[in-house]
Amino acid sequence: MGHLLDTIHSPADIKKLSVSELESLAQEIREFLVRTLSKTGGHLGPNLGVVELTLAMHYVFDTPQDKFVFDVSHQAYVHKILTGRREQFETIRQPGGLNGFMLRTESEHDSYGAGHAGTALSAALGMAVARDLAGGKENVIALAGDAAFTNGISFEALNNIADQTKRLIVVLNDNEWSIDRNVGAIARYLHKIVTNEHLTHLHDSAARLLERFGGKTGKTAVHVVRRAEEAAKGLLWPSVLFEEFGLTYYGPLDGHNIGLLIETFQFLKAQERPVLLHAITQKGRGFQPALDKQKKFHGLGPYDPETGETKSAGQPTYSEVFANTLVKLASGNDKLVAITAAMPNGTALDLFRPHHPKKYFDVGIAEEHAVIFAAGMATQGYKPFCAIYSTFLQRAFDPIVHDVCLQNLPVVFCMDRGGLSGDDGPTHHGLFDISYLRGIPNIVHMVPKDEDELADMLYTAMLHDGPSAVRYPRGTGPGTPVKDHPAAIPIGTAELIQDGEDVAIFGLGALLPMAQELAAKLEDQGHSAAVINPRFVKPLDREMLARYAQRAGVIVTFEDHVLMGGFGSAVMEALNEMQLSVPVVRIGWPDHFIEHGKVEQLRAKYGISVEAALEKLAPYLRKMSRVGVVRR
């Protein structure tokens, strides 16, 4: 095990191997992935599926001169292994280690970094046009999963490719899955191509030719798999879509046949026209647990490398509380519907779907469409709950403004992963939604302190006749039991946890325990501290804020969000408008992108802590002591 893999230090080493050796290397890579990711967790299933594709690409092309763009780049683990990062691979998604996505600052072989789907074709076209303008000769290859073609940006790019460049290679990695099974007309269209008996016959013919002639007839094999030859037009109609966009279509090919892939890439490399290669791959290939449980092994934590078993979950996650609450609410409300953008598993709406299948809608990786679709339903008297990660909802900013809030429609945005998303890193941290939402008229923005309050906020949002948003963190909360019947919260009212005179501490959402800990330490020092659960970012409870601004010597805000434009900023703006002068100490994330890592370690590093708050408070506490405000 690892004999060939130990000899691979750069892509140049791959080119020295025979096809049979490459096939053996593919098996070693799969064993390496299964063994290593069992300790770190990560996107196992997608990477098991692209081993041969990645090997063939590196065999034919030359990075970093040639450019590879992955969509989404969570399927770039094999690429990382082959480009000099194998010895670091056990650090992937660990603090200070390799990023789980392509990262331009990590390696010269990572030409483009992205953690959101639908970007590869646009980025690759931009690179190709830049190459053309500069008179370059390098190749640009976009490897996009079939789920990326449910994203509108991909089709915006397709609309431009043939008009803008004569040399671009698009590889459609078709495994019928994103995280869940792909949905919609595009998925059905690709399925028709794959299952067309005439295409299957021609594909088999190409494979037999290659086997018969020992790889010396690549042009002949490619000719066989060419899907738009005039003589076959009547039979091969499924490829017409890509042909109409101006891309010459080849496929579908077996994405695990290294020899055929190499011959085909060598042929495509010489083409002076945009081309699309349709490769059929198997997500999770080579590891039976990943084949049996596709959703689970898309991305997961540590597992047993023999059985694939993971540690059983304990208390429900915030996502599960959200879904279970929505099941109850929908049972009593015929107009309530749930919408997800290809994330039923991540948002836990897969728990909602069996109970209310007719009220469940998966629109694919299409966040903008999801929001406008929800707006359309809302105009007809329905109450859409649109469950999208905070980081992915960024893509739908204009529809939120223009289609939902401008029309004051009762759409509820359920923003999972509000706050730091740990191992996934900056592409997935939900650190900006307060900033990008609170400036929009009409919207109500809520943040629960625990699981029970999340249920109450969902119920409140259901009753509210206007747009609203609820942000909640990844993973589990404090374990607060959820009531059988949620209670409505008066909009714009904060909750007083404990009264105090000297310092008023506002702990937003999951950071409320930090506020309580700070209060306890201040009490030990002789200072009286109030603790407030804000609950609402917009509208703020100005009455509560004014009361403590007039009483306390300093206000502290805690938030799992960037400081710029966040909750603390909202507090300062409100105080200014009310002409109340009181110092505000803000604890939150700084104005730059936060790397991946363990949440507690990152909080300590960036001062999201009680210790940091005490340090910032020290000058004000000393001043209060000098004027005799300390109570003992």
Lowest mean pLDDT of 226-235, 260-269, 471-480, name the range: 226-235
**574: helix, strand or coil:** helix
pLDDT band at 222 (very low <50, low <70, confident <90, very high): low
Tokens 């607060």 correspond to 480
* Averaged pLDDT for residues 487-514: 98
- Residue 310 pLDDT level (bands cut at 50, 70, 90): confident
The residue with tokens 């431009």 is 160
Phi-psi category of residue 468: left, alpha or beta, with phi > 0 → left and psi -120 to 50 → alpha? beta
| Active-site residue, from 30, 285, 395, 535 | 395
8 Å CB contact between 143 and 173? yes
Asked which of 225, 256, 291 is the last residue of a domain, the reply is 291
Question: What is the per-residue pLDDT across 378-408, written as a single tens digit (0 to 9) for each?
Answer: 999 999 999 999 999 999 999 999 999 999 9
Residue 402 belongs to some domain of the structure: yes
Does an H or E element contain 542, and which?
helix 542-551
Instruction: Look at residue 169 and tell me if it is in a domain.
Output: yes
Same domain, 406 and 329: yes
On whether both 381 and 271 belong to a single domain, the answer is no
Band (pLDDT 50/70/90 cuts) for residue 1 is very low
Instruction: Round the average pLDDT of the chain to a whole number and report it.
Output: 89
- pLDDT at residue number 229: 44
pLDDT score of 376 more than 60: yes
Query: What was the pLDDT predicted at 381?
Result: 98
pLDDT at 231 over 50: no
The residue type at 221 = A
With CA atoms as reference, report the closest residue to 373 among 180, 184, 162, 593.
184
Q: In this structure, are 581 and 439 located in the same domain?
A: no
Does one domain contain both 256 and 137?
Answer: yes
Same domain for 78 and 208, yes or no, is yes
Same domain, 517 and 570: yes
- 376-383: long-range contacts at Cβ-Cβ below 8 A with a sequence spacing of 24 or more? 377/337, 378/404, 378/409, 378/410, 378/411, 379/407, 379/409, 381/335, 382/335, 382/336, 382/337, 383/333, 383/335, 383/336, 383/337, 383/410, 383/412, 383/462
Task: Tell me the whole-structure pTM to 2 decimals.
Answer: 0.86
End-to-end CA separation in angstroms for the chain: 69
Contact between 492 and 535 (Cβ < 8 Å): no
**Cα–Cα distance between 224 and 45 in angstroms, integer?**
31
626 is catalytic: no
Question: For the chain, what is the total number of helices (H) and then of strands (E)?
Answer: 24, 17
Query: Is 255 a domain residue?
Result: yes
pLDDT at residue number 436:
96
What confidence tens digit (pLDDT) does each residue in 562-608 have? 999 999 999 999 999 999 999 999 999 999 999 999 999 999 999 99
Res 630: pLDDT: 46
Query: Active site residue: 167, 226, 227, 283, which one?
Result: 283
**Does some domain include residue 269?**
yes
Residue 87 is among the residues annotated as catalytic for this protein: no
Calpha distance 351→361 (Å, rounded): 13
Please tell me the distance from the alpha carbon of residue 370 to that of residue 551, in angstroms, as a whole number: 46
Between residues 459 and 100, the one the model is more confident about: 459
In a shared domain, residues 455 and 570: no
243 or 299, higher pLDDT? 243
pLDDT in tens, 542-573: 999 999 999 999 999 999 999 999 999 999 99
The last residue of a domain, from among 291, 306, 333: 291
Residue showing tokens 């290859």: 141
Residues 193 and 323 in one domain: no
477 within a domain of the structure (yes/no): no
Residue 228: pLDDT over 50: no
Task: Using pLDDT thresholds of 50, 70 and 90, give the confidence band for residue 292.
Answer: confident
| 627 Cβ neighbours under 8 A, 6+ residues apart | none
Sign for the CA dihedral angle at 360, 363, 368, 374 comes to negative
CATH number at residue 274: 3.40.50.970
Winning range, highest mean pLDDT, from 1-10, 38-47, 174-183, 528-537: 528-537
Give the pLDDT band of residue 301 (cuts 50, 70, 90): confident
Three-class secondary structure assignment of 330-385:
HHCCCCEEEEECCCCCCCCCCCCCCCCHHHEEECCCCHHHHHHHHHHHHHCCCEEE
Residue 310 falls within a domain, yes or no? no
Q: Amino acid identity, residue 8?
A: I
Last residue of a domain, one of 291, 306, 337: 291
Tally of domains within the chain: 3
Q: State what percent of residues in the chain have pLDDT above 70.
A: 87
Q: Are 344 and 326 in contact (CB under 8 A)?
A: no
Residue 495 lies in a domain: no
Residue 444 is part of which domain span? 318-471
Identity of residue 554: V
Q: 395 has which bridge partners?
A: none
Together in a domain, 259 and 110: yes
| Phi/psi of residue 307, nearest 5 degrees | -105, -20
516-532 pLDDT, tens digit per residue, is: 999 999 999 999 999 99
- 333 and 395 together in one domain: yes
One of 52, 263, 367, 368 is an active-site residue; which one? 367
- Residue 199 confidence (pLDDT): 52
Contact residues for 78 (Cβ-Cβ < 8 A; gap 6+)? 29, 33, 47, 50, 51, 54, 55
Average pLDDT (320-343) is 97
Do residues 594 and 605 make contact, with C-beta atoms less than 8 angstroms apart?
no
Helix axes 258-269, 197-213, angle to 10 degrees: 90
Residue with tokens 């991946």: 596
Asked if residue 309 belongs to a domain, the reply is no
Residues 205 and 331 reside in one and the same domain? no
pLDDT digits over 159-218, tens only?
Answer: 999 999 999 999 999 986 544 555 556 666 665 665 555 555 554 554 454 454 444 445
Q: Are 467 and 558 in contact (CB under 8 A)?
A: no
Cis status, amide bond into 534, omega within 30 of 0: no
DSSP, collapsed to helix, strand or coil, labels residue 305 as coil
Same domain for 11 and 91, yes or no, is yes
**pLDDT-based confidence at residue 624 (cuts at 50, 70, 90):** confident
Q: How far apart are CA 9 and CA 81, in angstroms?
A: 8
Integer CA distances (angstroms), 359 to 346, 371, 377, 437, in order:
18, 16, 11, 26
Reply yes or no on whether 30 is catalytic: no
pLDDT of residue 255: 94
Residue 536: give its domain's CATH number: 3.40.50.920
